[in-house]
């Protein structure tokens, strides 16, 4: 897919990255970020109610992964849409 900012061919790792490149108004970015954050808060609420040690560890890892995913989505969108 061509990157509209650079007009050059690039290899992208996912369909989501391709869609974020085309998301010039940030609507998709905002939707994905909201879904990721909402799920992290849901898991945190579960964790706060009390979990077994194994469930707690799994839950904690999922929350960490979701927060990391928000950073990736935001950085990916900004890389393709930052003002030059």
pLDDT, tens only, 9-22: 666 668 899 999 99
pLDDT at 38 over 60: yes
Its domain, for residue 14, covers: 2-81
More confident residue, 79 or 4: 79
Kindly state the average pLDDT of the residues 22-31.
94
Q: How many domains does the chain have?
A: 1
Q: What is the Cα–Cα distance from 3 to 80, expressed in whole angstroms?
A: 8
Measure the CA angle with vertex 62, ends 81 and 16; round to 5°.
30
């Amino acid at each position: 897919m061509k990157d509209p900012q650079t007009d050059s061919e690039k290899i992208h790792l996912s369909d989501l990255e391709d869609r974020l490149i085309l998301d010039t108004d940030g609507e998709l970015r905002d939707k994905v970020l909201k879904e990721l954050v909402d799920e992290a808060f849901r898991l945190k609420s579960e964790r706060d109610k009390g979990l077994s040690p194994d469930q707690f560890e799994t839950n904690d890892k999922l929350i960490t992964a979701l927060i990391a995913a928000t950073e990736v989505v935001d950085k990916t969108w900004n890389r393709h849409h930052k003002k030059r």
